[in-house]
Amino acid sequence: MTLSRTDFSANTRALRAAFAVYGREANSGSHCECGRAMAKGPMDFTLLRSTRRAMRHTPLAACLALSLAGPSGPANAGQDRQTFEAVREADLKLATIGWRLAVSNAPLCDRLEPGTGLQLHTLDQFEAGSRAAAAAHFGFAAAVAVEGVVVGSPAEHAGIRPDDSLVRIGSIDIAALQGQPGTTQRLVAAQLAIANLPPGAPIEVEAIRAGAPVKATLQPIPACRSRFELFLTSGYNASADGTMVKISSQFLEVYTPEQAAAAVAHEFSHNILHHRDRLEARGVDFGMLSGFGANVKYFRQTELQADLLSVYLLANAGYPPRASIAFWQRFGPSKAGGIFRSRSHPHWRDRVKTLEAEVAKLETISARPMIPGLIAERSQPLSGDWQSLLIRNK
């Protein structure tokens, strides 16, 4: 069963139950981790932190899942199916956005990977108490399986189907990939191994489908190198660490597909512009002091650069670039203003004004793909000059 967008929004209960079913952190707070990186770990910068209590992957989340899932037996099995399919749909929505942005903007990127259209998952990602149900529902016959296939992608053209279990993809022996239960280690290992294959060379795929071996030849399309990960949460979270874009499921539930794509495009821009590497090269403080002193000018520069590039990414991928403006007009007043605004980020009203001017300029350009001047600057150190990029709302 594949849920429609309306069904998905109506099944928030199922998505909330997934907080404890999947090995992913759940957080009811709200923050954007935009283009920021801890010196030795994932990016962790805050545009907004809600005052609501954070619900992390703890017994509280497990109790919530149990209360939502109901009693054991057929009813619980039905709830499992609903939860699994709600998450599958959300993962595929994000994968589709990422696919469109990554393939359409490949000419802008200096780090490429094979664009396959495969959305993968592993049994490791599920909590121990849910793995048997997940194995039965998705038909796992190997450690890594196909959760979904982007419509119109090379994977679909090759005849690869959801719930195919992967044995080998190109030179990659799936059984040799390692990962700890309750983590995404094996999934990340698979994604990185695929990313290291030649971007445009055919990929031979061996899989198991309904207990029988199948083979297919996949002809990838060169794509910008980046992973896209769904963050199961009731808050608004988005981050980019140079190799991955992570976005909250809440964006897919609450915002239009075009506005959600705008949020993804902003984070993706940080990766394309190598902001993590360039911020680290400047020796900025990635902690509580990010909004103070010399740190501010570098962070604001990267935020504005990501805003500006995002509208070109959207346009090249066939999304309306004005979706970025609509996103900030909706997100800004309640999520990025007032006492919750971080000094490391420009005011949302100024960002809207800046985006409006850039979109007006973009709309006079007919050539595709559009490659803005920011791309040529990514090999240079950050200057800290954010003022010249900003148009203030007066």
Q: Is residue 370 part of a domain?
A: yes
Q: Are residues 190 and 287 in the same domain?
A: no
Q: How far apart are the first and last CA of the chain?
A: 50
CB 298 within 8 A of CB 382: yes
Q: Are residues 265 and 363 in the same domain?
A: yes
Total number of domains in the chain: 2
Q: Is residue 265 part of a domain?
A: yes
Q: Would you give the DSSP letter of residue 126?
A: B
Binned at pLDDT 50, 70 and 90, residue 70 comes out as: very low
Nearest-angstrom CA–CA distance, 82 and 86? 6
Q: pLDDT at position 342, please? A: 55
Q: Is residue 169 part of a domain?
A: yes
Residue 131: how many CB atoms within 10 A of its CB? 18
Q: Is residue 79 part of a domain?
A: no
Q: pLDDT at position 285, please? A: 72
Q: Is residue 230 part of a domain?
A: no
pLDDT tens digit sequence for 36-46: 333 323 332 22
Q: pLDDT at position 339, please? A: 36
pLDDT tens digit sequence for 217-251: 999 999 999 999 998 888 888 989 999 999 999 99
Q: Are residues 267 and 367 in the same domain?
A: yes
Show the domain range for 155. 112-224
Binned at pLDDT 50, 70 and 90, residue 345 comes out as: confident
Q: Are residues 263 and 321 in the same domain?
A: yes
CB 167 within 8 A of CB 183: no
Helix (H) or strand (E) segment spanning residue 149: strand 144-149
Q: Are residues 260 and 214 in the same domain?
A: no
Residues 6+ apart with CB under 8 A from 200: 114, 220, 221, 222
Q: Are residues 364 and 311 in the same domain?
A: yes
Q: Is the pLDDT of residue 20 over 80?
A: no
Nearest-angstrom CA–CA distance, 159 and 303? 40
Binned at pLDDT 50, 70 and 90, residue 295 comes out as: confident
CB 44 within 8 A of CB 109: no
Q: Are residues 340 and 281 in the same domain?
A: yes
Q: Are residues 264 and 370 in the same domain?
A: yes
Q: pLDDT at position 78, please? A: 76
Q: pLDDT at position 146, please? A: 99
Q: Is residue 247 part of a domain?
A: no
3-class DSSP state of 56: coil
Compute and round to an integer the Cα radius of gyration of the chain. Answer: 21
Nearest-angstrom CA–CA distance, 240 and 43? 7
Q: Is the pLDDT of residue 92 over 80?
A: yes
Q: Is the pLDDT of residue 289 over 90?
A: no
pLDDT tens digit sequence for 101-150: 999 999 999 999 999 999 999 999 998 999 999 999 999 999 999 999 99
- Answer yes or no: pTM beyond 0.85: no
CB 119 within 8 A of CB 144: no
> Considering the chain, what percentage of its residues have pLDDT values greater than 70?
76
Q: Is the pLDDT of residue 193 over 50?
A: yes
Q: Is residue 1 part of a domain?
A: no
Nearest-angstrom CA–CA distance, 165 and 159? 13
Residues 6+ apart with CB under 8 A from 265: 101, 310, 311, 313, 314, 317, 319, 324
What mean pLDDT, rounded, does the chain reach? 82
> 183, 206, 224: which is the final residue of a domain?
224
Q: pLDDT at position 340, please? A: 39
CATH number at residue 141: 2.30.42.10
